[in-house]
Chain A
Amino acid sequence: MNFCKILILMIATIGLPSAAAEQFGKPVDNTNRLKISTIMAAPDNYLDQPITIEGTVVGVCAKRGCWMTIASDKRFENLQIKVNDGDMVFPMTAKGSKAIATGKLNKIQLNLDRTKALLAHRAQQAGNEFDENTVTEPMAIYQLVPTGVEILE
C-alpha cells in the first residue's frame, strides 16, 4: 500500500506538460513588435536591443527543430530564428502558423567562399541559375536568437 502511494506521488510530481504546448522559453514581449521588412532594411541598427517579430512560419528544421523561418511582410523575404540544439525544439507542424518571437538579432559575417556557397544554395532552392563569378563581396546574414517564442494557431 505504501509503495502504491509513493508511486502515485512520484507520477504526480513529475507533471509532464502536454505535447500541445506552443510556448517556448520566456514569454514574448508583445509591446514592441517590429515588421521583419523594417528590420531587414537596416539590420545593423537592431543588433544591440531585444526585438519582437511576428510572421508566418514557412520553414522548420526537420531533424532537430532548432530553427524556423518566418516570412516577412515583404514578398520573398524572411528571417530565420535559430537556437542551440535542445534549447527550444520547434515542431514541423508549426509550418503555416503565426509565430511571435522576442530575442536579439545576430549578425554572422561570411567570407567570400561561404557567401558564394550560400548564394548558390539559395539559387538552387529557388530554382534559379547562379554564376559564382558575379559574387565579389562577402556578405553577412542575420538570425534572431530568441529568448521566447509563441506559436499561435
Chain B
Amino acid sequence: MNKRKINWYKLNRSLHRDIGYFCIGLVIIFAVSGIAVNHKDDWNPNYRVEQAIAPISTQNWSLDNDEKLISQLLVTSQIDEKVKASYWASPTQFKVFFKNGDNLLLNLKDQQIIYEKITPRHVFQAFNRLHLNETKASWIIFSDAFAALLIFLALSGLFMIKGKHSPWGMRSLWVISGIALPAVYIFL
C-alpha cells in the first residue's frame, strides 16, 4: 500500500492563508489600540472631555445649604440633569456630579462655572479593554494563542514562496532589516 506523501509546501501555504484570515480582526484591534495607547499623553482614547467655562455675576450663593446651592447653580447654568452627588473641593470650589456622567464646578474665587462634558469613546474603549487584558482570564489565554498564531504567520511566511522572490536570496535583506531595526532602538 502506497503511503500518501504530505506536501509540506502546500500545507504551509494553506495554513498561512487561513490563519491569516482568522487574524485579520484581531490584528486590526491590537494595532488600532496600540496606536491609541502609544499616544495616551497627547490624546485620551477612552473619553472625549469638553469644558465650557461661563463667567458668573456676583450673587448671594447659599453656601451653607448644599441643596439650595445646587438648585441655584442649575437655574443659573440652565441645566436640566439629575444630580448624583456634590462635593466641596475647597472653601471656594463646589462640584456637582450629574447622573449622565458630566460635572459642574463652581469656582467662587474666579467667579466662574465650569461645565465638564464626558463622552465615552465606546469603540476605542472596547479595543483598549481587549488590548490591555482588562477582561476575563479566558481572554488572556485567547490572546496568548493569538500571539502564537502571529509567530506561526511570521515563520511560515519564510516558506511561502520559492525561487528568486523567496526570502533566502536577495529578499533576505527585508528579513534582516526587520530584525535589525528594533535591535538599533535597543542598543542606541
**B-binding residues in A (CB < 8 A):** 10, 13-17, 19, 56, 58, 62-65, 71, 75-76, 86, 89, 91-93, 95-97, 125-128
Contact = CB atoms under 8 A, between A and B. Distances in A.
A27 B135 CA distance: 16
Contacts of B129: 19, 89
Main secondary structure on A side of the interface with B:
loop
Interface stretch (B42-50, B69-77, B152-160, B164-172): B42-50
B17 to A, nearest CB: 14
A17 B135 contact: yes
A124 B109 CA distance: 12
Contact of A127 (B99, B107, B126): B107
A56 B125 CA distance: 24
A15 B135 CA distance: 9
Given A19-B126, A92-B47, A86 B133 contact: yes
Contact of B132 (A10, A13, A86): A86
B185 to A, nearest CB: 22
Contacts of B89: 58, 76, 125-126
30 contacts: A10-B142, A13-B138, A13-B142, A16-B135, A16-B136, A17-B136, A19-B125, A19-B126, A56-B85, A58-B87, A58-B89, A58-B97, A63-B44, A64-B40, A65-B46, A76-B88, A76-B89, A86-B133, A89-B129, A93-B101, A93-B118, A95-B97, A96-B85, A96-B99, A96-B103, A97-B85, A125-B89, A127-B92, A127-B107, A128-B109
B55 interface: no
Contacts of A76: 88-91
A36 to B, nearest CB: 13
B93 interface: yes
A95 B103 contact: yes
Nearest to A122: B90
A84 B185 CA distance: 26
Nearest to A58: B87
Interface string B114-149: 000010101001100110111110110010000000
B92 A126 contact: yes
Nearest to A75: B88
B30 interface: no
Interface of B: 40-41, 44, 46-47, 49, 84-85, 87-93, 95, 97-99, 101, 103, 107, 109-110, 118, 120, 122, 125-126, 129-130, 132-136, 138-139, 142
Given A63-B41, A96-B103, A14 B139 contact: yes
Contacts of B110: 127
Nearest to B120: A93
A121 to B, nearest CB: 13
A96 B89 CA distance: 13
B49 A16 contact: no
Contacts of A15: 136, 138
Contacts of B139: 14, 16
